[in-house]
C-alpha cells in the first residue's frame, strides 16, 4: 500500500500531461489534432480516470487507518530561509482528490456530447485537463506557498474556460470580470500569506496556527494584527468561493460552456475557497473575531444568493445564485466551528450541483433543437415547460437534484445541511434563523425552476413569448451597450446546417433527450445525490469520524458522537424539513397548480421584487463606483499627465530649442566675432565698475 503514496504525485501530473500533449498538438499540428478530436478526448479522459483510480485507492487506504504521508524537497534556500515543495496525503486531501477526479471524469464524458459540433472541442478538453490538474495540485500542496501557486493556476484556467467563446463580447466581459474580482481577493490573500510568514516564520499550516496563538498569548503581536492577517487570508476564499461582497463574478461565469459551469460550481474553483479555509483552520480557530467574520459573511451570502435566485429566469443563472447560497452555508459552518459539517456539505453539494448543472446543459441541448443557437431563448425557463415528457432521464435526475438541495430526507443535502443548521443553532441562534429561512427559500426557487422547466405545457413554439423575450433582451442589450445577443456558434447542440436540415422534420418543433454521453453522467451522479448523505447521519457519522479538525483527536470526536441527543435532532431536522416543504408547497401552488398568481404578488411587493430581480443592485453599484469612478480617476490622471508632466517635458524641450536657435547665431566660428564679444564684455564691466 505504501507504493501508491510514493506515486501519489502522479494524480495532478497525469492530467497535466494530457493537457500538455493535446496543447502541443494544437500548436504544432493543429489540423491533424483537430481531426483526431475523439482520440484526444479518450486520452484526456483516460489520464483523468487513472488519477481517479489512484485517488480512490488513497481514500480507501486512509479510511483503513494509514498514517498521513508527506514528501518534500527543498526548493529554495537563503540563509535561515528554507522553502520546501512536495505533496501531502491525509484524510482531507484524500477526500478532495476523489471529489475532484470523479466529477471531472463525468464532466469530461458529458463534454463529448455537449461540445460535439463545437470547433473548439479539442481545445476545450485541453483546458479541462489543465483545470483539473491545477485543482489537484492545490489539494495535495503541503504549504501555503505551493497552495498559492496552484491557486493562481486555477484562476487562470477559469479565465480561459469562462471566456472560451472569446469572440462573444459577453463571454470576454465575463472572464475579465472574474479575473479582476479574483485579483482583489488574491491580493488580500498574498498580503495575508506574507504577514503570517513575517509573524510566524513558517508557511506550514499547523505551525502557523500554533505560533500565531502563542504570539498573541505572550503579547508579541497584538490581537488586532492577528485578526487582520486572518481576514486578509480569508479574502482569497471570499473571491474564489464567491462570498459577499466579491460574489458578482460567478453568475456572469455562466457565459462559458455548461460543462465548465458544472466543474467550476461543483469541484474546482469555488470548492478551492472552502478547501483553503479548511486548510487554514488551525489559524482561524485561534482568532475568534475572524471566525465570527467568516460565519456572518457565509450566512449573509447564503441569504443573498437565495433571495436573488427566486426571480431568475435563465436556468443557468438561477443555479449560479444557488451555488453562491450553498457556498454560504459551507463558509458559515466553518465560521461556527462545524469543520466536518462544512466539508460534508462540500462533498454532497459537489455531486448534486454537478448533476443539476449538467441537467441544465441537457435542457439547453434539447431546447436548441427548437429555438436554435440563441441563449436568450434556449436558457429562459419562460419558454420551456413540459420537458419531462420529451427528456425523461434529464427530468428525473433534475428532480433528484432539487430534492437533494432542498434538504428533503433521505437525499444527500438533508443530512449535510441539517448538520450545519444544528451547529449554527448551538453557536448563534440568529445564524441558525438565517440558514433556516434560506433553506425554505432554496426549496421554493429550486422547485420553481423544476416546474417551470419540466412540468405543464411546452411553450417553446409560442412565437408571442419568443418575441417578448427577444424584445426584452434587445432593450437590455441597448441599455448596457451590448449589441450582440447570440453566440457566433451555440453551446454545441447542433450545427446550423444540421438544424436547418431538420426544419421540415416533425420533431424539429419538439425538444429531444440528450445522447448517452450526456445522459450517463446524469444517471451516475444521481446515485451519490441520493445516497452519499447516509455516510454522515447523526446516528452513525462515519464522515465526521474520518474528517475532523486538526486540533481534535478521534477520541474527542467519538465522545461528542456519544452525546448525540435524538430528540434534539428530530426537532432541528423537523423544523428544516417543514420550512422546505412550505417552500415546495408555495412553488406547487404558483407554478404547477396555478392557484396563486406570482405576478400579482410581485406587484404587491414591487420594491422587494425589483431588489431581487436587479441582484440587490450590486452590479449597478459596482459599475457606478468602481468602473465609472475609476474611469473618472483615469481621466483626471490623463489630464495631469498631459498638462503637467507632458507640459513640463515639452517646456523643457521648447526652452532647449529656443536657446539652441539663439546660440547658433553666436557660435559662428569667426575669431573677429569672438574678439568683438570679449571687447563688449570688457567694456560693459568697465562701465559697471566705473559707475559704482
DSSP letters along 392-411, please?
HHHHHHHHHHHHHHHT-TTS
Grid look-up 447523526 returns 538
Mean pLDDT of 287-313: 94
Between residues 553 and 364, which one has the greater pLDDT?
A: 364
Domain identity same for 373 and 460: yes
Domain identity same for 349 and 414: yes
Average pLDDT, the chain: 88
φ, ψ (nearest 5 deg) of residue 82: -135, 125
The whole-angstrom separation of Cα 517 and Cα 523 is 11
Contacts 24+ apart (CB under 8 A), 534-542: 534/410, 534/415, 536/344, 536/415, 536/416, 536/419, 537/415, 538/419, 538/564, 538/566, 538/569, 539/564, 539/566, 541/340
Q: How confident is the model at residue 667 (pLDDT cuts 50, 70, 90)?
A: low
Peptide bond into 277 cis (omega under 30): no
Domain identity same for 531 and 668: no
Q: How confident is the model at residue 95 (pLDDT cuts 50, 70, 90)?
A: very high
In a domain, 684, yes or no: yes
What's the maximum distance between 2 C-alpha atoms anywhere in the chain? 117
Angle at which helices 269-279 and 315-335 cross, to 10° = 0
**Residues with Cβ < 8 Å from 340, sequence gap 6 or more?**
419, 541, 543, 544, 547, 548, 549
pLDDT confidence of residue 168: 87
pLDDT confidence of residue 664: 67
391 has a pLDDT exceeding 80: yes
CB count within 10 Å of CB 119 equals: 13
Q: How confident is the model at residue 497 (pLDDT cuts 50, 70, 90)?
A: very low
For residues 238 and 273, the answer to whether their CB atoms sit within 8 Å is: yes
Between residues 279 and 554, which one has the greater pLDDT?
A: 279
219 has a pLDDT exceeding 80: yes
Mean pLDDT of 356-383: 85
Mean pLDDT of 453-459: 88
The whole-angstrom separation of Cα 653 and Cα 665 is 19
In a domain, 571, yes or no: yes
Grid look-up 453599484 returns 621
For residues 278 and 334, the answer to whether their CB atoms sit within 8 Å is: yes
Domain identity same for 588 and 664: no
Domain ranges, residue 663 = 623-691
In a domain, 164, yes or no: no
Domain identity same for 423 and 570: yes
496 has a pLDDT exceeding 50: no
Q: What's the N-to-C CA distance of the chain in angstroms?
A: 107
Domain identity same for 344 and 413: yes
Between residues 166 and 372, which one has the greater pLDDT?
A: 166
Which grid coordinates belong to 65? 487507518
pLDDT confidence of residue 481: 54
pLDDT confidence of residue 681: 85
Number of Cα atoms under 13 Å in the Cβ half of residue 306: 27
**Residues with Cβ < 8 Å from 121, sequence gap 6 or more?**
34, 37, 41, 115
Q: How confident is the model at residue 491 (pLDDT cuts 50, 70, 90)?
A: very low
671 has a pLDDT exceeding 60: yes
320 has a pLDDT exceeding 90: yes
Domain identity same for 526 and 663: no
For residues 45 and 109, the answer to whether their CB atoms sit within 8 Å is: yes
For residues 282 and 145, the answer to whether their CB atoms sit within 8 Å is: no
| Least trusted range by pLDDT, from 66-80, 190-204, 404-418 | 66-80
The whole-angstrom separation of Cα 607 and Cα 441 is 18
Domain identity same for 311 and 396: yes
pTM greater than 0.85 (yes/no): yes
Domain identity same for 644 and 584: no
In a domain, 142, yes or no: no
The whole-angstrom separation of Cα 313 and Cα 590 is 15
pLDDT confidence of residue 278: 94
Domain identity same for 392 and 349: yes
In a domain, 378, yes or no: yes
Q: How confident is the model at residue 499 (pLDDT cuts 50, 70, 90)?
A: very low
Domain identity same for 580 and 677: no
590 has a pLDDT exceeding 50: yes
The whole-angstrom separation of Cα 206 and Cα 629 is 42
Give 406-426 pLDDT, tens digit per residue.
999 999 999 999 999 999 999
pLDDT confidence of residue 24: 93
The whole-angstrom separation of Cα 560 and Cα 69 is 27
472 has a pLDDT exceeding 90: no
CA distance readout (Å), 72 to 55, 146, 312 = 19, 11, 48
pLDDT confidence of residue 501: 39
Give 166-181 pLDDT, tens digit per residue.
888 889 999 999 999 9
Between residues 479 and 423, which one has the greater pLDDT?
A: 423
When divided into structural domains, the chain yields a total of 2
The whole-angstrom separation of Cα 67 and Cα 154 is 29
The whole-angstrom separation of Cα 185 and Cα 433 is 28
Looking at the chain, the whole-number percentage of residues with pLDDT higher than 90 is 58
274 has a pLDDT exceeding 50: yes
Give 224-244 pLDDT, tens digit per residue.
999 999 999 999 999 999 999
209 has a pLDDT exceeding 50: yes
DSSP string, 620-636: HHHIIIIIIHHHHHHHH
Mean pLDDT of 288-302: 95
pLDDT confidence of residue 435: 94
Q: How confident is the model at residue 494 (pLDDT cuts 50, 70, 90)?
A: very low
In a domain, 149, yes or no: no
| Least trusted range by pLDDT, from 254-263, 495-504, 524-533, 605-614 | 495-504
| Least trusted range by pLDDT, from 74-78, 120-124, 134-138, 667-671 | 667-671
Domain identity same for 591 and 632: no
| Least trusted range by pLDDT, from 107-121, 208-222, 491-505 | 491-505
pLDDT confidence of residue 334: 94
pLDDT confidence of residue 540: 84
- In the chain, how many H helices and how many E strands? 34, 2
Angle at which helices 339-371 and 91-114 cross, to 10° = 0
Hey, which residues does 480 pair with through a beta bridge? none
Number of Cα atoms under 13 Å in the Cβ half of residue 226: 27
Q: How confident is the model at residue 506 (pLDDT cuts 50, 70, 90)?
A: very low
In a domain, 335, yes or no: no
**Exposure class string for 314-339: b at 16+ Cβ within 10 A, else e:** bbbbbbbbbbbbbbbbbbbbbbbbbb
For residues 68 and 88, the answer to whether their CB atoms sit within 8 Å is: yes
In a domain, 328, yes or no: no
Q: Give the DSSP H/E element, type plus range, for residue 655.
A: helix 646-666
Amino acid at each position: 500500500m505504501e507504493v501508491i503514496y510514493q506515486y501519489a504525485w502522479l494524480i495532478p501530473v497525469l492530467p497535466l500531461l494530457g493537457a500538455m500533449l493535446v496543447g502541443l498538438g494544437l500548436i504544432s499540428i493543429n489540423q491533424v489534432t483537430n481531426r483526431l478530436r475523439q482520440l484526444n478526448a479518450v486520452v484526456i479522459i483516460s489520464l483523468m480516470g487513472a488519477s481517479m483510480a489512484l485517488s480512490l485507492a488513497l481514500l480507501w487506504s486512509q479510511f483503513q487507518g494509514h498514517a498521513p504521508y508527506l514528501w518534500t524537497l527543498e526548493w529554495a534556500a537563503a540563509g535561515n530561509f528554507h522553502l520546501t515543495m512536495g505533496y501531502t496525503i491525509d484524510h482531507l486531501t484524500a477526500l478532495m482528490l476523489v471529489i475532484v477526479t470523479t466529477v471531472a471524469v463525468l464532466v469530461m464524458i458529458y463534454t463529448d456530447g455537449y461540445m460535439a459540433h463545437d470547433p473548439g472541442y479539442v481545445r476545450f478538453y485541453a483546458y479541462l485537463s489543465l483545470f483539473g490538474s491545477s485543482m489537484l495540485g492545490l489539494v495535495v500542496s503541503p504549504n501555503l506557498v505551493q497552495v498559492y501557486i496552484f491557486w493562481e493556476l486555477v484562476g487562470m484556467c477559469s479565465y480561459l474556460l469562462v471566456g472560451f467563446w472569446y469572440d462573444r463580447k459577453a463571454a470576454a466581459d465575463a472572464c475579465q470580470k472574474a479575473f479582476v474580482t479574483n485579483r482583489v481577493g488574491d491580493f488580500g490573500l498574498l498580503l495575508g500569506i506574507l504577514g503570517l510568514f513575517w509573524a510566524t516564520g513558517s508557511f506550514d499550516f499547523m505551525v502557523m496556527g500554533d505560533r500565531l496563538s502563542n504570539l498573541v498569548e505572550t503579547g508579541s503581536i497584538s490581537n488586532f494584527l492577528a485578526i487582520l492577517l486572518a481576514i486578509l487570508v480569508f479574502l482569497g476564499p471570499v473571491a474564489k468561493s464567491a462570498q459577499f461582497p466579491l460574489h458578482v463574478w460567478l453568475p456572469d461565469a455562466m457565459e462559458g460552456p455548461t460543462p465548465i459551469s458544472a466543474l467550476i460550481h461543483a469541484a474546482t474553483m469555488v470548492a478551492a475557497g472552502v478547501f483553503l479555509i479548511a486548510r487554514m483552520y488551525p489559524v482561524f480557530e485561534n482568532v475568534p473575531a475572524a471566525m465570527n467574520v467568516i460565519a456572518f459573511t457565509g450566512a449573509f451570502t447564503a441569504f443573498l444568493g437565495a433571495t436573488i435566485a427566486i426571480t431568475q429566469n435563465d436556468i443557468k443563472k438561477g443555479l449560479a445564485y444557488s451555488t453562491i447560497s450553498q457556498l454560504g452555508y459551507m463558509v458559515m459552518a466553518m465560521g461556527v466551528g462545524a469543520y466536518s459539517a462544512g466539508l460534508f456539505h462540500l462533498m454532497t453539494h459537489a455531486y448534486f450541483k454537478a448533476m443539476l448543472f449538467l441537467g441544465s446543459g441537457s435542457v439547453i441541448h434539447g431546447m436548441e433543437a427548437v429555438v436554435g443557437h440563441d441563449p436568450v431563448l434556449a436558457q429562459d425557463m419562460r419558454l420551456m415547460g413540459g420537458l419531462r415528457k420529451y427528456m425523461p432521464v434529464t427530468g428525473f435526475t433534475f428532480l433528484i437534484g432539487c430534492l437533494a438541495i432542498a434538504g428533503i430526507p433521505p437525499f444527500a443535502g438533508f443530512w449535510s445541511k441539517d448538520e450545519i443548521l444544528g451547529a449554527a443553532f448551538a453557536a448563534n441562534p440568529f445564524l441558525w434563523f438565517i440558514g433556516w429561512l434560506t433553506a425554505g427559500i432554496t426549496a421554493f426557487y429550486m422547485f420553481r425552476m423544476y416546474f417551470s422547466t419540466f412540468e405543464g405545457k411546452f411553450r417553446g413554439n409560442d412565437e408571442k413569448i419568443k418575441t417578448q423575450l427577444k424584445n426584452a433582451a434587445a432593450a437590455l442589450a441597448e441599455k448596457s451597450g451590448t449589441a450582440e445577443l447570440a453566440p457566433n456558434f451555440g453551446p454545441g447542440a447542433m450545427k446550423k446546417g444540421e438544424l436547418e436540415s431538420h426544419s421540415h422534420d416533425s420533431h424539429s418543433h419538439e425538444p429531444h433527450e440528450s445522447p448517452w454521453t450526456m445522459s450517463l453522467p446524469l444517471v451516475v451522479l444521481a446515485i451519490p445525490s441520493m445516497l452519499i448523505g447516509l455516510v454522515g447521519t447523526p446516528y452513525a457519522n462515519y464522515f465526521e469520524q474520518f474528517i475532523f479538525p486538526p486540533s481534535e483527536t478521534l477520541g474527542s470526536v467519538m465522545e461528542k458522537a456519544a452525546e448525540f441527543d435524538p430528540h434534539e435532532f428530530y426537532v432541528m431536522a423537523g423544523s428544516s424539513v417543514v420550512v422546505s416543504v412550505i417552500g415546495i408547497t408555495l412553488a406547487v401552488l404558483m407554478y404547477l397548480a396555478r392557484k396563486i398568481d406570482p405576478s400579482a404578488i410581485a406587484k404587491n411587493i414591487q420594491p422587494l421584487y425589483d431588489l431581487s430581480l436587479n441582484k440587490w443592485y450590486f452590479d449597478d453599484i459596482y459599475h457606478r463606483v468602481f468602473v465609472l469612478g475609476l474611469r473618472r480617476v483615469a481621466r483626471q490622471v490623463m489630464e495631469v499627465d498631459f498638462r503637467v508632466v507632458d507640459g513640463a517635458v515639452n517646456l523643457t524641450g521648447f526652452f532647449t530649442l529656443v536657446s539652441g536657435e539663439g546660440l547658433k547665431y553666436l557660435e559662428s566660428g569667426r575669431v573677429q566675432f569672438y574678439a568683438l564679444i570679449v571687447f563688449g564684455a570688457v567694456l560693459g564691466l568697465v562701465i559697471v565698475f566705473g559707475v559704482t
